[in-house]
Amino acid sequence: MRNSYIVKIITGVFIAAVGLAACKTKGGVAPHNSMELVADSSITHLTQPVNAQVVATIPVISPETGSRIYSAAANGVITYDTRQQTAVASRVGGRIERLLIKYNYQPVKKGQLIMEIYSPDLAAAQRELIYVAQSSKELLAGARQRLQLLGMQPGQIDQVLKTGNILYRIPVYSNSDGYILEKSAAVATASAAPPVATSAGDGMSGMGSAAAPVTSAPAAPAATPVLLREGQYVTAGQPLFTIYQADALVAVFSFPPQLAATIRKGQRLLFYPTEDNTAMQTGIIGLIEPVFRNGENFTLARIYLNKHHFRAGQLLTASIPVMYSNGSWLPKKAVWRLGNKAVVFKKEKEVYVPQVVQTGVEEKDMIQVITDIADWKVASNAAYLVDSESFIKTKQ
């Protein structure tokens, strides 16, 4: 390194000069046994390696202190309100002869045909109905009620009595308007940890803005194919589908632990669609849920939407003001990153010495330093004090 080479030259000149001075006496040349080396303490700082301290004339700055307010942004998504849902189950055991649901989150209407099931028990009950209708009118009401409990509609029962033919395919209808989701897919969606990151927003009150740590957020519902197939057997009472009501949606936002402490239930949030930051609106947090998924710790905040113009799967961005009252603030260029450590160059007499500091949040061009450096003088630009190989030896 060039700096080390310069230091070696200066050190050699210094030793030679000291040797010549020690050889001089009153009469000219001193005796051989009276030679003595005398070090000049004014240049001892030049003999230290450049990765431990640096001699430079770069300007110094003092850390800024005081409270700062910034607007942190949290990403979110519009999803279905799990409180407003109905289940679709088979009342009889049998084989699926016809399936009209092809993918999850397919829109359905109340009374819409979902599937047709062949059930041996239902066919036997229809034969019993026909026999009772021909032989014993007193038992007809009980036979009709049994078929209704097994899922047949009154009109279908009347058709069997009128024609005398057994209906081998029993239809299953939707009991609500909304979006249908397979039960197995609903469980998988609830346990997944989708990757959506949080980011920083603009500052408030002229005090700057800080970047929020990266975390996960809920993912948009995916229209995946259903796993249920025609020819598959189902049992009586087996839940097959869940229907989420179309008018019940919820906005779910993800907050890292640093921001989770600043939110509470009943607090108002300002949010807007990610693709249009002019369509802002406010909402009240109705539920705060701490979550630990796939080794990641974060907090979900839900805003229940009554009257809205959003659609399921739409991405949102929420803005929340956060105040930081501890620590000091430095320009980002004054802090040098060494992997998982941060270093500043502290001015000590004629040299700059690298010191490890603990950092916090970051904003556009400022960074929070948790370590107490209020009375320090640090280099304004750390990049100028790093040698070509970026080796830095910090003090313990």
20 phi and psi angles, rounded to 5 deg: -65, -40
In the chain, where does the domain assigned CATH 2.40.30.170 lie? 69-82+195-220+246-322
When pLDDT is averaged across residues 172-187 and rounded to a whole number, the result is: 77
Task: For residue range 315-329, list pLDDT tens digits in order.
Answer: 999 888 877 778 888
Q: Tell me, what DSSP letter sits at residue 115?
A: E
Of the listed ranges 55-59, 217-221, 275-279, the least confidently predicted one is 217-221
- With a cut of 60, say whether residue 1 has pLDDT above it: no
Residue 258: pLDDT band with limits 50, 70, 90? confident
When pLDDT is averaged across residues 169-182 and rounded to a whole number, the result is: 84
- With a cut of 60, say whether residue 5 has pLDDT above it: no
- With a cut of 50, say whether residue 314 has pLDDT above it: yes
Task: Report whether 260 contacts 290 (CB < 8 A).
Answer: yes
**Which is more confidently placed, 371 or 66?**
371
The CATH superfamily label for domain 69-82+195-220+246-322 reads Efflux pump adaptor protein, beta barrel domain (2.40.30.170)
**pLDDT value of residue 331:** 92
**Which is more confidently placed, 342 or 207?**
342
Residue 68: pLDDT band with limits 50, 70, 90? confident
Mean pLDDT, the chain, integer: 76
Beta bridge partners of 199: 73
Amino acid at 154: P
Domain at 49-66+325-396, CATH class: mainly beta
Region for 327 from its dihedrals, namely left if φ exceeds 0, alpha if ψ lies in -120 to 50, beta otherwise: left
- With a cut of 50, say whether residue 107 has pLDDT above it: yes
CA atoms lying within 13 Å on the CB side of residue 66? 5
Q: Distances from the Cα of 318 to the Cαs of 36, 280, 282, in angstroms?
A: 75, 9, 9
Residue 43: pLDDT band with limits 50, 70, 90? low
**pLDDT value of residue 333:** 92
**Which is more confidently placed, 43 or 303?**
303
Task: Report whether 270 contacts 282 (CB < 8 A).
Answer: yes
Instruction: Give the global pTM.
Output: 0.54
Taking the chain, what is the end-to-end CA distance rounded to the nearest angstrom? 24
Helix axes 140-149, 120-135, angle to 10 degrees: 160
Q: At a CB cut-off of 8 Å and minimum separation 6, what does 268 contact?
A: 282, 283, 284, 285
**pLDDT value of residue 145:** 87
CA distance 383 to 72: 29
**pLDDT value of residue 199:** 41
In the chain, where does the domain assigned CATH 2.40.420.20 lie? 49-66+325-396
76 phi and psi angles, rounded to 5 deg: -150, -175
CA distance 301 to 316: 13
Give the count of beta carbons closer than 10 Å to the beta carbon of residue 126.
26
Q: In what order do the strands lie in the sheet with 239-244?
A: 85-89, 239-244, 178-182, 106-108
Residue 30: pLDDT band with limits 50, 70, 90? very low
CA nearest neighbour of 328 among 379, 355, 367? 367
Instruction: Go through the chain and tell me how many residues it has.
Output: 396
CA distance 180 to 224: 12
When pLDDT is averaged across residues 262-272 and rounded to a whole number, the result is: 87
Instruction: Enumerate the H helices of the chain as residue ranges.
Output: 2-23, 120-135, 140-149, 154-163, 183-191, 257-260
**Which is more confidently placed, 269 or 204?**
269
**pLDDT value of residue 186:** 57
- With a cut of 70, say whether residue 108 has pLDDT above it: yes
**pLDDT value of residue 228:** 83
